[in-house]
Amino acid sequence: MSDYLLKVENLKMHFPIHGGIFWRQIGKVFAVDGVSFAVKQGETVGLVGESGCGKTTVGRSILKLYTPTHGKVYFEGKNILELKRKDMQPLRRNMQMIFQDPFESLDARLTIGDIIEEPFLIHSIGNSEERIKNVKKLLNRVGISQNAINNFPHEFSGGQRQRIGIARAIALNPKLIICDEPVSALDVSIQSQILNLLLELQEEMKLTMMFIAHDLAVVKHISDHIAVMYLGKIVEYANADDLYSQPLHPYTRALISAIPVPDPSVKKKRQILSGEVPSPKDPPPGCSFHTRCPIVIDRCKIEDPFLRNMKNTSGNDHQVACHRAGEQ
């Protein structure tokens, strides 16, 4: 059996654009355009990039919350994109998601006890007494008093609501959790608490995680490997430490240069990218980054670079999609 719990191959998600009198398809949004990566059992892969690059769409497509246009998603060796809805339900116990907005993802009409109990009801696990017992255990596990079981989501702070969302996600002891920017809507002081909680749960439950975020500093804290996305494609993939110490793609270098250093005596040169991110409705030819790249050459404007393996100075595999990688 493969060491990889999750393998994504050439995943594409193109959303149709309709218009005109007869509401015909007049174009596409290339939200995800050929993404491939793999996640080993027990590790965390971070997925980073600017807003609109397709990170969340990748996560939702993996769980079949969207039906991908093309590609394969293997979970425990099985291509889940070929499965029918009734065959997916048993697998969903092992594949869960923590959403970005901890308020919008919780039903305001239900108590938190009802919200966390729902996965057990859907999968017909336990009787009423056993389910309530499990709900109380889950609340304690994520740092929420079990006495609050009958409270509604609006009675909690943002950090507490995200803890409730985490409790719901781990209720069925899943193997894979996709975390869709779970701390971006929270105060900085609360972010670290939620990140530490996720790390504790990962170690305790042997979880495999995919962590989606736009903040490279946050991703480094929690990830084993990091994939950098730009305009629907992965442009760099490497071990977290190697990516930060030896970034090979100019886009990655610009992102890392924007990370603030908590030391006023350290002078850091910021790499400012010119221009705007192109529209995914009309991506540029060649390398999608060439319109903003500081080291662009003519080849970049006509030939799309593929993700290739390069050995870095640490001797580790380092994948990058750039014609000039290794020259800088």
Task: Count the domains in the chain.
Answer: 2
Beta bridge mates, 75: 6, 78
* Residue that terminates a domain, selected from 145, 172, 199: 172
- Mean pLDDT throughout 201-208? 94
Give the DSSP H/E element, type plus range, for residue 39: strand 24-40
- Mean pLDDT throughout 233-254? 93
Residue 134 included in any domain:
yes
Give the DSSP H/E element, type plus range, for residue 319: strand 317-320
Judge if 166 and 181 occupy the same domain.
no
Alpha-carbon separation of residue 294 from 26, 82, 150, 301, 324 (angstroms): 34, 42, 56, 13, 11
Residue 328 included in any domain:
no
Residue 102 included in any domain:
no
Residue 230 included in any domain:
yes
Phi, psi of 198 (to 5 degrees): -65, -40
Please write the tens of the pLDDT for every residue from 139-174.
Answer: 999 999 999 999 999 999 989 999 999 999 999 999
Please write the tens of the pLDDT for every residue from 310-328.
Answer: 877 777 789 999 999 877 6
pLDDT band at 1 (very low <50, low <70, confident <90, very high): very low
Cα 252 to Cα 109: distance, rounded to the nearest angstrom: 43
- Mean pLDDT throughout 268-291? 87
Element counts in the chain: helices (H) and strands (E): 9, 12
Residue 215 included in any domain:
yes
CB 150 within 8 A of CB 95: no
Judge if 123 and 191 occupy the same domain.
no
- Mean pLDDT throughout 24-28? 91
> If we measure between CA atoms, which residue out of 230, 242, 274, 166 comes closest to residue 30?
230
- Mean pLDDT throughout 68-73? 96
pLDDT at 101 over 50: yes
Residue 269 included in any domain:
yes
Residue 325 included in any domain:
no
pLDDT at 265 over 70: no
- Mean pLDDT throughout 216-231? 91
Judge if 85 and 146 occupy the same domain.
no
pLDDT top residue among 314 and 300: 300
Lowest-confidence segment of 39-43, 57-61, 313-317 by average pLDDT: 313-317
Alpha-carbon separation of residue 287 from 20, 45, 246, 303, 312 (angstroms): 32, 24, 21, 6, 22
Judge if 80 and 114 occupy the same domain.
no
* Residue that terminates a domain, selected from 172, 193, 224: 172
* Residue that terminates a domain, selected from 172, 201, 223: 172
| Average of per-residue pLDDT values in the chain | 91
Judge if 179 and 296 occupy the same domain.
yes
Please write the tens of the pLDDT for every residue from 175-195.
Answer: 999 999 998 878 888 888 999
User: What is the DSSP-derived secondary structure letter of residue 41?
Assistant: T
CB 26 within 8 A of CB 19: yes
Cα 118 to Cα 93: distance, rounded to the nearest angstrom: 12
Judge if 65 and 198 occupy the same domain.
yes
User: What DSSP string runs through 227-291?
Assistant: EEEETTEEEEEEEHHHHHHS--SHHHHHHHHTSPPS-TT------PPPS-PPPTTSPPSS-TTTT
How confident is the model at residue 47, as a pLDDT? 96
* Angle, vertex CA 211, rays to CA 239 and CA 200, nearest 5: 95
Judge if 168 and 178 occupy the same domain.
no
> If we measure between CA atoms, which residue out of 72, 57, 59 comes closest to residue 15?
57
The residue range of the domain holding 82 is 4-94+174-320
For residue 22, the domain's CATH number is: 3.40.50.300
Cα 229 to Cα 252: distance, rounded to the nearest angstrom: 9
Lowest-confidence segment of 163-177, 196-210, 213-227, 312-326 by average pLDDT: 312-326
Judge if 115 and 233 occupy the same domain.
no
Cα 316 to Cα 246: distance, rounded to the nearest angstrom: 11
Percent of the chain with pLDDT over 70: 97
Residue 277 included in any domain:
yes
Judge if 179 and 237 occupy the same domain.
yes
Judge if 251 and 186 occupy the same domain.
yes
How confident is the model at residue 208, as a pLDDT? 96
Judge if 155 and 197 occupy the same domain.
no
Cα 211 to Cα 232: distance, rounded to the nearest angstrom: 17
Judge if 41 and 25 occupy the same domain.
yes
pTM here is 0.90
User: What is the DSSP-derived secondary structure letter of residue 183?
Assistant: T
Alpha-carbon separation of residue 243 from 46, 55, 140 (angstroms): 11, 18, 36
